[in-house]
């Protein structure tokens, strides 16, 4: 009988969740949904010295914003609780002791000074990678080199120790990665990792394996940075007798800097002006504020769609996917092996597509929120009209106010470049007639306004293109925008007339030239 697919996202609460971590969570979630499985979140907080207050809540809120729903977590609970490793502390020692009893691990009593001295000796001997391993362990103070009675005495006296994995000296460790194929590492390249620290807390390596086994995790989908640890984890599964139920591994490609040189970092985002965190983060110690995609105006669905394509592709030309569609199409086989360059312009493009696809009635709320901040009243119907006109010109919700403010606030300055080229005595003559006849125009709307303007231009033997930029300047103060006749319809008859009169007065020097 096939096992139920169970995946886990296991972040550490050491600060804000990096965009790469969000992508890892997303790929786990999509795979679980595709396979009809479960998505588990486990907080890996074995290193209590790096714990940052607020980081857990930040992780939870970030995933909620993205629409990544957890089946089991510290907040939702589940059959395999607790989901914080610090709360699971009592269970790890038994597995470490099991490894010691089986001869696959040992007690090490070396002090920090002795470890430093060992590394210095190895450096002096020109050893490329100084480490505690099958060779060096025999020169150190541990239960493999000390007499059994002395080991017992040290343990009973409460002397500090760690438990290290006893890695074989000459063995080929193999695992099949779902993305990279077979990975082979010689055991001589693996050091005797600490499994239990002197404070009684397990290290990531032991806790990770024990928890994945006890929580019935079937697939471990995680970042490429964990690939070097995978052979060590294979050894742990083998030595604990769990190799038959060991999860399948998939190590995701790195997110690269925009130029492709190295892993994407917060510094890159700060330097190039884009967020690397899903939500804004305030450092509880320094007070430093880091920007987030949510606060920058990204729609969560667009952000998720963008993230999905950073390393995966559907094999078709389709780019816009709902979460449901992503889950249906997702497959680990279509995840690339090589790193993916981060392209903030593509993120912006996705946001634009999602904004344009929203109903005007929904977009109107973005504008209405901004109008409240400026103490400007507006009906929902009018806001909907404006949102419909402007949505092809915005990238973010906050752009609606910036791009459409002239619907509510008459221009006080004008683009001099346009004024010097397009504002002249002929256009002023047309605008004088136009504003005078607007006041008596029946059925005031975009079509009738345009018909009136064309009829006046015919009198002067002019074409509409000769005055449109100048008229736009008078009405909006801008040199470009949506259909001007529709803008005039929204602004209204009286306000349009007033704005044209103001422009004629303020731009008189160009008409005289």
Is-contact 347 303, C-beta < 8 A? yes
Q: How far is CA 490 from the centre of its chain?
A: 38
Q: How are the residues of the chain apportioned to helix, strand and coil, as percentages rounded to the nearest 5? A: 50, 10, 40
- Residue 41 host element (H or E): strand 38-41
CA distance 82 to 79: 9
Helix, strand or coil for residue 290? strand
Who contacts 411 (Cβ-Cβ below 8 Å, separation ≥6)? Answer: 475, 476, 477, 478, 499, 503
Q: Which of 34, 69, 197, 266 is catalytic?
A: 266
- Residue tagged 């957890």 (tokens): 70
Phi, psi for 400 (deg, rounded to 5): -60, -45
Known binding residue 271? Answer is: no
Strands (E), 84-243: 105-108, 162-165, 172-177, 181-186, 194-196, 219-223
Helix, strand or coil for residue 85? helix
Is-contact 155 161, C-beta < 8 A? yes
CA distance 316 to 474: 47
CA distance 411 to 481: 14
| Catalytic residue status for 266 | yes
> What amino acid positions are annotated as catalytic residues?
266
Binding site feature residues: 266
Binding site feature residues for ATP: 266
């Amino acid at each position: 009988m096939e096992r139920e697919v169970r995946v886990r996202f296991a972040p550490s609460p050491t600060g804000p969740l990096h965009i790469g971590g969000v992508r890892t969570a997303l790929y786990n979630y999509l795979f679980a949904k595709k396979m009809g499985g479960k998505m588990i979140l486990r907080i890996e907080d074995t290193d209590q010295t790096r714990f940052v207050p607020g980081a857990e809540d930040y992780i939870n809120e970030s995933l909620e914003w993205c629409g990544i729903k957890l089946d089991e977590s510290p907040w939702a609970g589940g059959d395999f609780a607790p989901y914080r490793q610090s709360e699971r502390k009592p269970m790890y020692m038994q597995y470490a002791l099991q490894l010691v009893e089986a001869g696959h691990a040992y007690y090490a009593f070396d002090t920090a000074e002795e470890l430093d001295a060992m590394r210095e000796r190895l450096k002096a001997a020109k050893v490329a990678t100084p480490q505690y391993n099958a060779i060096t362990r025999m020169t150190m103070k541990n239960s493999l080199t000390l007499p059994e009675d002395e080991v017992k005495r040290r343990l009973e006296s409460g002397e500090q120790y760690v438990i290290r994995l006893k890695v074989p000296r000459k063995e080929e460790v193999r695992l099949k990665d779902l993305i990279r194929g077979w990975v082979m590492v010689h055991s001589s390249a693996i050091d005797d990792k600490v499994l239990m620290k002197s404070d009684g807390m397990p290290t990531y390596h032991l806790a990770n394996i024990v928890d994945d086994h006890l929580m019935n995790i079937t697939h471990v989908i995680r970042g490429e940075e964990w690939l070097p640890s995978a052979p060590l984890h294979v050894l742990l599964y083998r030595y604990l007798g769990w190799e038959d139920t060991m999860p399948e591994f998939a190590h995701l490609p790195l997110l690269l800097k925009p130029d492709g040189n190295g892993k994407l970092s917060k510094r890159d985002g700060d330097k190039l002006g884009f967020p690397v965190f899903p939500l804004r983060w305030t450092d509880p110690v320094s007070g430093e504020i880091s920007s987030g995609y949510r606060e920058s105006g990204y729609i969560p669905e667009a952000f998720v769609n963008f993230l999905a394509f950073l390393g995966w592709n559907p094999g078709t030309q389709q780019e816009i996917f709902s979460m449901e569609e992503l889950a249906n199409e997702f497959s680990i086989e279509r995840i690339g092996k090589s790193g993916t360059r981060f392209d903030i312009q593509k993120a912006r493009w996705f946001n634009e597509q999602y904004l344009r696809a929203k109903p005007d009635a929904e977009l109107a709320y973005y504008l209405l929120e901004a109008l409240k901040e400026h103490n400007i009243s507006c009906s929902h119907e009018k806001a909907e009209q404006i949102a419909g006109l402007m949505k092809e010109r915005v990238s973010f919700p906050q752009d609606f106010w910036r791009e459409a403010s002239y619907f509510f606030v008459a221009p006080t300055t004008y683009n001099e470049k346009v004024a010097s080229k397009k504002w002249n005595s002929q256009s002023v003559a047309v605008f004088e007639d136009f504003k005078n006849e607007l006041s008596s125009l029946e059925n005031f709307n975009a079509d009738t306004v345009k018909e009136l303007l064309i009829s006046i231009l015919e009198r002067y033997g002019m074409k509409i293109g000769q005055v449109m930029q100048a008229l736009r300047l008078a009405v909006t103060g801008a040199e470009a925008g949506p259909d001007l006749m529709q803008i005039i319809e929204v602004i209204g008859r009286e306000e349009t007339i007033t704005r044209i009169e103001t422009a004629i007065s303020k731009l008189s020097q160009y008409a005289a030239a």
